[in-house]
Amino acid sequence: MSTAGRGSPHVAVLAFPFSTHAAPLLAVIRRLATATPDTLYSFFSTADSIASIFSASNDLPNVRAYDVGDGVPEGYVRVGKPQEDIELFLRAAPANFRKGMEEAVAKTGRRVSCLVTDAFFWFCADMAAEMELPWVAFWTAGPASLSAHLYTEHLRQTLGVCRGIDGREDETLQFIPGMSKVRIRDLPEGVVFGNLDSLFSRMLCDMGRALPRAAAVFLNSFEELDPTITADLKSKLNNFLNVGPFNLIATPPRASDESRCMSWLDGQGRASVAYISFGSVTVPPREEIVELADALEASQVPFIWSLKDHSRENLPEGFLKRIETRGMMVAWAPQEEVLRHDAVGAFITHCGWNSLLESIGGGGVAMICRPFFGDQRLNGRMMEEVWGLGVGVEGGVFTKKAVMNCLQLLLSQERGEIVRDNMRALRRQAEKAVGPDGSSTRNFKLLLELLSIP
C-alpha cells in the first residue's frame, strides 16, 4: 500500500552523515524548499550531522530536521578497522530511516510522497519500490566519477581486472564516453584496483547497479562542463539533472574574516598570490607539508595557507617566523571570497569537487592539483587534460622542486594566463547555465516538478 497520500507533498530527505555529504544536500533542499513553500521536507541524519549543518535559527518552516541512530550498539567497543563507523551506520540505516520517517509522518500528519537521498544509499531503490514512491538520488561529486561507478562492471570486464593491472596504469579509457584522456590510475580506488571487496567498493558498485532505477539523479554541476559524459549519462538514467554550480546561484552571506585574509590580499599584486587549502577532511602527510613549505619559502611567492592548528607542528622549524612578512597561515579562510580576489593567481588544492567548482566560480584562479583519494585524481586529470584549468604536481606528491615548477609555470609564465583565460571562459558558461534560460535552471524546474507530485 502506498504511503503517499493526497494533499501537499512531503519529501523525506535521507543524508549520508560523513565527510561533506550532508551539507551540500541540505543546501539544495533549502533552495527547493524556498521555491515550494507548500512542500514539507523532512531531513534525516545523525544527531552530530544535524548539529553541524543546521543553524540555530532555521528560517524555513517547511524544512524539519530529524535525528536517526548512528548504528553504534550500546556498549559497543570499536576495534579500529577502516570505515568502522560508516559500516555500523549503513548496517542499521534502512531500519533507522524507516523509523525516522514513521516519526515524521506521525508528527506532521502528512504521508511521505518522495524519497530524496544521497546516491550512496543503493538500498533506497528497494525501499522506494516497497513504499511505492519515486526515488531521487543526489550525487555529491562530478559527472566523471559518477560515470566511473556506473561503468564499474564494464570496466572490470574490459580491463580483465582478475589478471591485475600492474604495468597498465597509464592506459586510457577510450571505450568510456568522455573519458578518452583518463588513465586507469586516475579512477577512484575500488573500481578496478585497490580492495574491490571493501565496504566502499561494494557500496559504490551496488549504487551503480541501482541508480538506473531512480526517478532522477541530480548533482552540483552544469551540462556545459562535461557535454559528452552528460549526454551518455542522460541515456542511462531516467533524469540526469545538472543543477549547479550552487555557488553561482545564491551568494552566501559574507563569511567572517577574523584572520583578515581579504584586507591582506588588497595589498598584493594581481594574480601574484598562491592560496593553499585541502578542504575539511584531507591532511597531507608530514613530509609533504615540509616540502610544500620549503617550496613556498624558496619561491618567494606570497601565499595564504589554510592549515589546521594541530598540523602546524609539521612545519619546518622557524618557517612561520621567516615568512611572516609575505605569507599568511590561517586555520580557516573564507575560500570563495579568497578565490574571487584579483590578487590570487594559483590555488594549490586536493581537487575535491566543491573546491573545483569554487575555483571555476571565482576570479579565474589556475589550479595546482595534488589529489589524495576518491574522485580527486579523476577531477585533477579532467581539470588538467580536458578543461585546461591548471596543472598536476609532477609525480603526484609534493616535492620542493615540483611545487616550485608549478608556481613558476602558473604565476610567471604565459601558461598561467592561458589557464586563467580558460577558467574565465568556463565561468561564463557556468553563469549562463544558472541564468534564466540556462540548462541548470531548466533542470532545476524539472526537479521541482518531480518533487511536487503529492
Q: Where are the domains of the chain?
A: 10-244+434-451, 261-432
- pLDDT band per the 50, 70, 90 thresholds, residue 95: very high
The answer, yes or no, to whether residue 1 has pLDDT greater than 50, is no
pLDDT (mean) for 110-121:
98
The pLDDT assigned to 4 comes to: 47
- Greater confidence (453 vs 345) lies with 345
The catalytic position among 10, 21, 149, 350 is 21
Catalytic hit among 10, 118, 149, 294: 118
118 is catalytic: yes
* pLDDT of the residue at 444: 98
Right CATH number for 10-244+434-451 from 1.10.10.60, 3.40.50.2000, 3.40.50.300, 3.10.110.10? 3.40.50.2000
In 3D space, the residue among 136, 96, 94, 92 whose CA is nearest the CA of residue 114 turns out to be: 136
Amino acid identity, residue 417?
Answer: E
pLDDT confidence band for 56 (50 / 70 / 90)? low
Reported confidence tier of residue 281, pLDDT bands at 50, 70, 90: confident
Q: How would residue 2 be classed by pLDDT, with cut points 50, 70 and 90? A: very low
List the beta bridge partners of residue 10. Answer: 40
Please state, for a pLDDT cut of 70, what percent of the chain lies above it.
96
User: Is 341 a catalytic site residue?
Assistant: no
Task: Give the contacts of 374 (CB within 8 A, at least 6 positions apart).
Answer: 141, 145, 188, 189
Q: How far apart are CA 349 and CA 351, in angstroms?
A: 5
This prediction has a pTM of 0.94
- Domain 10-244+434-451 matches domain 261-432 at the CATH topology level: yes
186-221 confidence digits (pLDDT tens): 999 999 999 999 999 999 999 999 999 999 999 999
Beta bridge partners of 382: none
* Mean per-residue pLDDT of the chain: 94
Closest CA to 119 of 47, 28, 185, 255: 28
pLDDT at 341 over 50: yes
Q: How many helical (H) and strand (E) elements, i.e. helices and strands, does the chain have?
A: 18, 13
| Three cell numbers written together for 128 | 522506494
Given this model, what pLDDT does residue 251 score? 65
Task: Inform me whether the pLDDT recorded for 223 exceeds 90.
Answer: yes
pLDDT(3) > 50? no
Q: What are 315-320's contacts with CB under 8 Å, separation 24+?
A: 315/289, 315/290, 316/290, 319/293
Amino acid 55: pLDDT: 77
CATH architecture of the region 261-432 = 3-Layer(aba) Sandwich (3.40)
